[in-house]
Structures are given as structure tokens and as C-alpha cells.
Amino acid sequence: MKYLLLLGMMFSTCLLSAQQVEIDIDLFADGFSQPVDMKHVGDDRLFVVEKTGQIKILNSNGTTNGTPFLDLSGDVSNGGEQGLLSVAFHPDYDKNGFFFVNYTKLDGDTRVSRFKVSDGDPNVADPASELIIIEYDQPFANHNGGCIQFGPDGYLYIASGDGGSGGDPGNRAQNTSLVLGKLLRLDVDNPDGGNNYGIPNDNPFAGSDTDAQEIWAYGLRNPWKFAFDVTAGDLWIADVGQNAVEEVNKVDWTLAGLNYGWRCYEGSEEFNTGGCPDPSELTFPITEYEHSGGTSNSIVGGYVYRGTDNPDLQGFYFYADTYRNFIGVVDPNEDNEIYTGFSGTWVSFGEDSEGELYIISIGGDIYKLTAQVLGINDPNQGTIAVYPNPTMNLLTVRADNDSIEQIELMDVNGRLIRTLNGNSSDQVQLQLADLTAGVYFIRAFLGSGQQISQQIVRR
């Protein structure tokens, strides 16, 4: 299934980003039961986490082993946002066989445990090897976070949600005495203080008697997925919003103690700022998108592409949305683009040992994702200007060094509202008085063959 660049989600009155990208997804495997995560151990195998409690091995030819790698079905609560949520393999897995899982127990609370692969079969784990690393209470059934990753420093990072309900009623994400609404960082190789983990000395609250020493960052609502880009030295966190904004955060992964702002801010928008720090003390997203038309939204963070099959995509970060079905891309210039037309209910991305990317639908399908940069728009060969933007009713689209053959007007979900013939002129006006206030998109088909999209705002 192939889809061309459709929507540019950043508010702008300037020309659209010059890069044109095509995305293609191909079904790689199916038949899984609510898959929510996928990792590799440096070989051809992919380990697929099913929310219902199993981890299965997916082979490079698309087949799945009949025997699960691990089965925790009897120990996992599996309703709503609960379940077996993530797996992370120890950096020295090939030597020690250790891997870690994050799941909600039968009582709904979070547990992160270590297991070991069996001595006799590399495709089956030892279910009796469980070592509980950390547990913490979940006041409500939602916002469990759940993603775990090993960082470039060899420490285990754990994303915890704010404890659930709506609006963070306990203000837990800003409370540094609690581990909820945080990104945690543990030394699982050097246990200390009676725990099965140690506190890295450079954790921001290491040694504190009042703050949770496990905290690396805070002010998060429900960071369902995060990832490290070792090549660029960045940490990417996609944080699920409340009612208005979904956000993508990108920071230097070595920066400790960052406050991402929830519940004071939802993305860059004020939410509940009573008793909050000055905005200068907060870390705001590099990009975000707004909810539309009362539909549910839930951002799904992915990875920065570092594979070899699609060299033009080096440095592009991929993300998605569960309820709006689209796939998003942040390019190396931090321009954000959205691609619609997909039918999957996306919940996760996966990365194989070669850096190639996969996208996972909760319905049980796993697709391999490819993309290519189609070219660079030379400003001397044709661009468009759109003004005034925002506008009350009349919008002008002007082509520079080109002609306009056709204009398409779409809503924020990519549905076509109307088409206007440009008659090969260099300027077209659109009457928007009949539209309700909100965000829309136009796509201009130029005489040179270019298709350029632009976000507009109807006041």
C-alpha cells in the first residue's frame, strides 16, 4: 500500500517543506493476539509481545514459532490498557541471556521483571527464572506507560504513566516523590539498598531522602513509547495527550531531570498551571498535533530510521496514531508530515537488527515499512504561497514560476471537501465562508507535475 505526502501539520504561512516522501507498507506477518511491542537480539529473530501475555518469535521469512518464547498469560491482567506491555533485552544478552518485561499484575499494579533464556533452547525462556526488579501501584487502570528500553549507557529506562483517570487528579506527574508520570532509570547490573537494582550516581535525585531516586525525567502523562537514537545521541518520547494535543519530544539523551510539563501543559497548551513552575523550567515538544472533530487520539512513538534499504530516510523519525490510523514523519530538519489512508490500528513500531522498521496493528498484523524521498522542490522551479493564513473566508493560492492546474481542499482527516480547477493560471482564490472554524489542508497540482500541500486555518 503506497501513500504520498498529504498533510503538513505545523502551522505556517511559509512554503511547504521541500522534501517529498512516499511511504509504503507491506504485510510481513499476521495472526498475533493484540501485539504491542517487538524487539530483536541482534540476529534475524523478532520477539513480538502480545498484550494477552505471551512473547512469540517471528522469523525473517514471516513465520512464527509454534512454541512461545515466554508465556505469562496466567500472571497478567489484560483489559483496556493493561497487559504484557514491553520487552527489553540486556545489552549482554548473548552472554547472560537476561531480558526484562513490563506488565500489569492481576491486581492491576505494574511489575518489571528479569527473566533468563533457557539453557537448552535459545527459542524458549525459563519461566521459573523471574526476578522482580521493581513494582509500583497503579491508582487507575489506564495510563500505565509500559515501554522499557536499555539506553546507550547500559541502564534500563522505564516509562511510567501518571496513574490514570483524567487530568492527573493526584498531580502525580509533577510530584517527584512518586514514580508515576516519569521516565525511570535503573542500574540492573549492580543492585543496592536491598533492591534488585541500583541507582546510577548521575540520576537527578540520587541520594535524596524525599524524591524518588529512580527518576530520570518527569512531567509525563502517558509515554506509551520512547526510543533512543544512538547515532544522533537523542531520546525521543511520544506522550499521549488529554483532550487536545498529542506531542513528540526530542532531547539530548544525556540531559537529566527534565520536566516535560504535564499536568501544567498539554503539549505547548496550558492545561492546569496552578502551582506550576515557570515555563522556562519546562521542556516543550518539538512537534505536536491537535485533536479533531471529537475523535479519540493516541500517539504511538516509533524510531529514527537507521537502516540501509532506504538510505534517503536516514535520520527520519516515524510515529503513528492508534485512532486516526495515520503515520507521521519528523525529518532531520524537524519538519513534521502526516500520511493518511492506512487501515491499521497502530500501537507500536519495531526495529530489526539491520535498522529496518515495522509497524504493528493491535488487530494482529505486522507490516514492514519502507519510504523514499522523491526529490527536492527547487524554489526556482515552482512553489506556492498561501495567504492570508489564518483567514476568515477568502484564501489566495499563488504559484511562483509555475501554473496551478487544480486545488484540492481537505479536512484535517484528509477527507476531500472540494476540488477547484486552476485553469493553468498562476493564482487561484478559494471561498471558505461556508466552512466551520478549524484546520484544513489544500493540495496544489502544478503544471510542472509537482503536488504541494499546505495547512490552512479558517478562523
Residue 11 clears pLDDT 50, i.e. is over it: no
Domain-located, residue 6? no
Last residue of a domain, one of 354, 374, 394: 374
Q: Which of 58-62, 213-217, 374-378 has the lowest mean pLDDT?
A: 374-378
Global pTM value: 0.81
My answer on whether 391 and 355 are in the same domain is: no
Q: Identify the three-state secondary structure at position 165.
A: coil
Residue 131: its H or E element: strand 125-136
pLDDT digits (tens, 9 = 90+) for 216-238: 999 999 999 999 999 999 999 99
Average pLDDT over residues 299-328: 94
pLDDT digits (tens, 9 = 90+) for 279-295: 999 999 999 999 977 77
* Res. 382 pLDDT band, cuts 50 70 90: low
pLDDT digits (tens, 9 = 90+) for 94-122: 999 999 999 999 999 999 999 999 999 99
Question: Can you give the residue range of the structural domain that contains 389?
Answer: 379-458
Of the candidates 298, 301, 159, 141, which has an alpha carbon nearest to the alpha carbon of residue 220? 159
Cβ-Cβ contacts under 8 Å for 337 (sequence gap 6 or more): 5, 7, 8, 9, 17, 21, 328, 329, 331
My answer on whether 171 and 93 are in the same domain is: yes
Q: Which of 44-58, 252-266, 327-341 has the lowest mean pLDDT?
A: 327-341
Average pLDDT over residues 73-99: 97
Of the candidates 301, 319, 300, 303, which has an alpha carbon nearest to the alpha carbon of residue 352? 303
My answer on whether 358 and 389 are in the same domain is: no
Compute the distance between CA of residue 368 and CA of residue 25 in angstroms, rounded to an integer: 6
pLDDT digits (tens, 9 = 90+) for 122-166: 999 999 999 999 999 999 999 999 999 999 999 999 999 999 999
DSSP 291-328: --TT----EEEEEE---SS-GGGTT-EEEEETTT--EE
Q: Which of 280-294, 301-315, 407-421 has the lowest mean pLDDT?
A: 407-421
> What CATH number does the domain containing 352 carry?
2.120.10.30
Count of domains observed in the chain: 2
Neighbours of 284 (CB within 10 A): 13
My answer on whether 146 and 289 are in the same domain is: yes
My answer on whether 339 and 431 are in the same domain is: no
> What CATH number does the domain containing 412 carry?
2.60.40.1930
Compute the distance between CA of residue 103 and CA of residue 111 in angstroms, rounded to an integer: 6
My answer on whether 338 and 435 are in the same domain is: no
Who wins on pLDDT, 26 or 385?
26
* Res. 16 pLDDT band, cuts 50 70 90: very low
My answer on whether 315 and 392 are in the same domain is: no
Who wins on pLDDT, 374 or 262?
262
My answer on whether 367 and 449 are in the same domain is: no
